[in-house]
Homo-oligomer: A and B are copies of this chain.
Amino acid sequence: MAHRAAIGIFDSGIGGLTVAAEFSRQLENEDLIYLGDTARLPYGTRSPKTVARYAERAAGALLKYPIKALVVACNTASAYALDHLKAATDVPVLGVIQPGARAAVSAPHGGKIGIAGTAGTIASGAYQNAIRAQDPNVETVQMPWPLLVSLAEEGWIDNRVARLTLATYLDTFVEAEVGALVLGCTHYPVFKNTIQEVLASDFSGVQIALIDSAEAVTEELRALLQENDLEAPHRAGRRSFFCTDAADRFKRVGSTFLGEDLASVTTIDL
């Protein structure tokens, strides 16, 4: 029976679809149930208490389904609600911050790691704490990049405005000479290529390793499933998508993030 259970994933909106996309590529046998809490997005500028309340509701909706792991595919919710969610259920709960921090510390960072994220994630200090817990000798530099969420949702991934915005934001990290940069918001990985191009064109090709926590959490989830003998048998995993408002927009913009069409999206109330 456990083998028929799905992976539950939630985010405030479409950003977490970059995590779902990574699961789709690397854990293709698994059934995925994705919930985007589009009626309450963005989480990134809200207070810790409000984010925790919203995350609890979203998690509760997923836990009504037979799920074998719950992935909080939102950095702000991972920062403010993970411990609380873990305490509230027996289902294993994974956030994106610990895996991202581990991946950053393992990267060639040269002693200094940059962290970009929403206002909420940066204010929480969650990545700083997680990185220092892994390696107290690493220096961290952090900065909110709030515009990227809107740029991504506008589909302005590699136009002149996106490049100029990234050049403005990257300047701080290049000045600080970070060796690795955590893309601490699930919207940001769609800009990976553009960031590399801007580093090449505007910053003399300086090398900065980009840390995508979607990749890191996929490895962690794979290990969890293997260790607990919970892997799905060989088959094509099913994908179900839910959101809490504006399903048309979720479906349309979401396809950029998932990298494929969202077959169908169901709106639910939380």
- The smallest C-beta distance from A222 to any residue of chain B, in angstroms, reads 34
- The smallest C-beta distance from A48 to any residue of chain B, in angstroms, reads 10
- The smallest C-beta distance from A268 to any residue of chain B, in angstroms, reads 13
Q: Which of A24-32, A64-72, A143-151 contacts B (4 or more CB under 8 A)?
A: A143-151
Total count of chain A residues near the partner, CB < 8 A = 25
Q: Which of A76-131 contact B (CB under 8 A)?
A: 119
Tell me the nearest residue of chain B to A144, going by C-beta.
B154
Check if A160 is an interface residue, CB within 8 A of chain B. Answer: yes
* Interface residue SS majority, chain A: helix
Copies in the complex: 2
| B165–A161 touching, CB < 8 Å | yes
CA A199 to CA B71, docked complex, whole Å = 47
Please name all residues of chain B whose beta carbon is closer than 8 Å to the beta carbon of A156 when the two chains form the complex: 147
Please name all residues of chain B whose beta carbon is closer than 8 Å to the beta carbon of A159 when the two chains form the complex: 168
CA A164 to CA B46, docked complex, whole Å = 29
Tell me the nearest residue of chain B to A53, going by C-beta.
B39
Asked if A150 meets B146 with Cβ closer than 8 Å, knowing A46-B246, A246-B46, A246-B47, the reply is: yes
Set B39, B149, B164, B245: member contacting A161, Cβ < 8 A? B164
| B154–A160 touching, CB < 8 Å | no
Check if A266 is an interface residue, CB within 8 A of chain B. Answer: no
| B50–A39 touching, CB < 8 Å | yes
| A47–B164 touching, CB < 8 Å | no
Asked if A45 meets B249 with Cβ closer than 8 Å, knowing A147-B151, A150-B150, the reply is: yes
